[in-house]
């Protein structure tokens, strides 16, 4: 998907350069979209697309360190993600979302198109918070001023988070105003102000829970919940299509794993969490993952690189080693960056949820490699689901004195997550989880919750939230940093993993092109809301 937009950008640059060469007297590029001529809907549509690109890229980068996918970029944290990895997500905010949102707001308000304006504020706020979550201090006040500051300085991360909260509050005011028209192509909620109101309130809950160690309010969480995302019809998600080319509208994970061989390695730890950790199969397992090969016992070290090798001595927990299961649940352990053998037609790949892939019905055949399998990429990007809201509310009940019932919210979150995932694809009857299957799973989790002390209860909530978050790495990254849960996370394969990244290196483009920027931080630097100790025992 990135390559498509790079190609479009290259065409635009070449076109503009050609005009300069042919008519040096022209002071305005005739190919540029000027504020006075830009079509509001065109800018609005581009803002939506770039918002989804930013959110997906940020999630993709963080799913590895949170064990949702295998971390294979490096055998330790410092070399897993280079500064160049984040050039794309950075450029989406500063070259696309901020200027597009400003233009939408500028043009929409005089026309009393307040839904347009409110949506722009929600997307801008979400994007700003995401970059703070990744990097801490980021440019904002000067960056939002446009070309007046070509080398913007970085703002305090807490101030940017507060500015994002103010935008969400403003959006709620916009959605409540009499409105003279809705967007022609709102791909998330179809221009329905009431649903956007629920999404904004859910993001405010997120703001308070994320900042719970730095001033977030449990009482605010409980109050906001009355009009926040509450069921699957309210879910804040970006919907991908099944168009294969010009443009490729499919979920990016489908585009990478179903066009030839599987490209990503799934996380052995995460698959094991659904397969074996509780002693029963999670109802979501076969919707999340698809096995291309259901037997790993005949694989050589060339393919798997670990059969016959003893379990590392620092693997002291129950988590798996080498494979999640010999029945084909086959990915990689955390931090395994060994060379890539020709195993793309065997390794486990993405299922229907959220990537739009194949359902695992024990068929155990490789994907066709022509983009015709499963849902053909018509997946979703789960931004803020009703289950997420319930899990955050359960966390607030346990740790923020919100006054709500943590156990009831835990159960509600589990059931909403399973319901969402299992309704995503019409599975064969023999493999469709029954009501009894779901009840057994819920009863098992609630039994663990009842038997635990306060810290253990939070661990149970975090584990279930972590599982429900599949497809959203940023929320899992935030959860782990603020709580230290779920516990029993598989360590890196190399015991010398270094410090867990509390933030990431600044993008190379920011440091290289901005004279006021420097690579001053290490991955041990902490975002303002992460006030936990510098090297807590639970981080690995």
Query: How many alpha carbons lie under 13 Å from residue 465 in its C-beta half-sphere?
Result: 32
For range 393-415, the mean pLDDT: 98
Rounded Cα distance, 442 and 24, in Å? 70
Q: Which range has the worst mean pLDDT, 12-16, 91-95, 308-312, 401-405?
A: 12-16
Q: Check pLDDT > 80 for residue 350.
A: yes
Query: How many alpha carbons lie under 13 Å from residue 337 in its C-beta half-sphere?
Result: 16
Q: Check pLDDT > 50 for residue 34.
A: no
Name beta bridge partners: 138. 155
Q: Check pLDDT > 60 for residue 1.
A: no
Query: Based on the number of CB atoms within 10 Å of its own CB, is 10 exposed (0-12), middle (13-18) or buried (19 or more)?
Result: exposed
Percent of the chain, pLDDT > 70?
Answer: 93
Would you give the DSSP letter of residue 493? S
Q: What own/partner pairs with CB < 8 Å and gap ≥ 24 does 34-41 have?
A: 35/103, 35/106, 35/107, 38/103, 38/107, 40/104, 40/107, 40/108, 40/111, 40/113, 40/116, 41/183, 41/184, 41/185
For range 396-412, the mean pLDDT: 98
Rounded Cα distance, 423 and 353, in Å? 10
Spans of all domains in the chain:
2-20+30-240+381-513
pLDDT digits (tens, 9 = 90+) for 298-311: 887 777 888 888 99
Would you give the DSSP letter of residue 258? S
Q: Report pTM.
A: 0.92
Identify the band that residue 16 occupies on the pLDDT scale cut at 50, 70 and 90: very low
Rounded Cα distance, 337 and 531, in Å? 31
Tokens 């068929």 sit at which residue? 363
Contacts of 416 (CB under 8 A, 6+ apart): 231, 232, 385, 386, 387, 390
pLDDT at 298: 84
- Into which CATH architecture does domain 2-20+30-240+381-513 fall? Alpha Horseshoe (1.25)
Q: Check pLDDT > 70 for residue 519.
A: yes
- φ, ψ for residue 154, nearest 5 deg: -85, 140
- Whether the CB-CB separation of 248 and 56 falls below 8 Å is answered with no
Residue count of the chain, please give it. 540
DSSP β-ladder status, 380-384 and 236-239: antiparallel
pLDDT digits (tens, 9 = 90+) for 311-325: 999 999 999 999 999
pLDDT digits (tens, 9 = 90+) for 119-155: 999 999 999 999 999 999 999 999 877 677 889 999 9
Q: Check pLDDT > 70 for residue 23.
A: no
Q: Check pLDDT > 70 for residue 420.
A: yes
């Amino acid at each position: 998907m990135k390559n498509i937009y790079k190609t479009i950008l290259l065409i635009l640059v070449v076109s503009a350069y050609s005009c300069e060469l042919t008519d040096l007297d022209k002071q305005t590029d005739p190919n540029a979209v000027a504020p006075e001529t830009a079509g509001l809907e065109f800018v609005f549509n581009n803002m939506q697309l770039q918002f989804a690109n930013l959110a997906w890229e940020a999630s993709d980068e963080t799913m590895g360190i949170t064990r949702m996918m295998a971390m294979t970029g490096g055998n330790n944290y410092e070399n897993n993600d280079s500064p160049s990895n984040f050039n794309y997500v950075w450029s989406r905010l500063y070259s696309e979302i901020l200027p597009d949102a400003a233009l939408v707001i500028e043009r929409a308000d005089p026309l009393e198109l307040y839904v347009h304006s409110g949506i722009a504020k929600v997307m801008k706020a979400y994007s700003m918070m995401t970059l703070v979550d990744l990097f801490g201090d980021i440019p904002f006040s000067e960056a939002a001023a446009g070309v007046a500051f070509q080398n913007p300085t970085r703002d305090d991360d807490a101030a940017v988070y507060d500015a994002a909260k103010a935008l969400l509050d403003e959006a709620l005011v916009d959605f409540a105003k009499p409105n003279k028209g809705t967007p022609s192509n709102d791909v998330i909620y179809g221009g329905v102000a009431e649903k956007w109101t629920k999404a904004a309130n859910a993001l405010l809950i997120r703001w308070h829970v994320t900042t719970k160690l730095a001033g977030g309010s449990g009482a605010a969480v409980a109050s906001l919940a009355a009009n926040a995302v509450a069921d699957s019809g309210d879910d804040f998600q970006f919907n991908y299509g099944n168009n294969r080319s010009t443009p490729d509208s499919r979920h990016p994970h489908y585009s990478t794993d179903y066009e030839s061989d599987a490209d990503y390695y799934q996380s052995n730890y995460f698959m094991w969490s659904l397969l074996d950790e509780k002693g029963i199969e999670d109802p979501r397992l076969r919707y999340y993952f698809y096995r291309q090969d259901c037997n790993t016992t005949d694989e050589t070290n060339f393919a798997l690189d670990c059969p016959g090798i003893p379990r590392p001595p620092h693997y002291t927990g129950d988590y798996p080693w080498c494979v999640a299961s010999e029945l084909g649940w086959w990915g990689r352990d955390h931090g395994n960056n060994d060379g890539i053998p020709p195993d793309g037609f065997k390794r486990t790949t993405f299922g229907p949820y959220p990537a739009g892939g194949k359902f695992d019905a024990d068929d155990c055949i490789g994907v066709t490699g022509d983009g015709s399998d499963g849902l053909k990429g018509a997946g979703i990007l789960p931004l803020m689901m009703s289950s997420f809201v319930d899990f955050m509310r359960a966390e607030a009940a346990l740790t923020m004195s919100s006054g709500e019932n943590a156990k009831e919210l835990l159960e509600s979150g589990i059931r909403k997550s399973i319901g969402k995932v299992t309704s995503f694809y019409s599975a064969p009857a023999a493999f469709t989880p029954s009501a009894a299957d779901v009840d057994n799973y819920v009863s098992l989790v609630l039994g663990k919750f009842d038997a635990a002390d306060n810290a253990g209860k939070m661990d149970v909530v975090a584990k279930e939230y972590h599982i429900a978050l599949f497809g959203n790495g940023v929320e899992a990254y935030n959860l782990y940093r603020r709580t230290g849960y779920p516990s029993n996370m598989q360590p890196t394969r190399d015991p010398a993993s270094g410090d867990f990244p509390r933030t990431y290196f600044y993008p190379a483009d920011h440091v290289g092109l901005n004279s006021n920027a420097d690579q001053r931080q290490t991955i041990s630097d902490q975002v303002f809301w992460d006030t936990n100790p510098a090297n807590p025992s639970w981080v690995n």
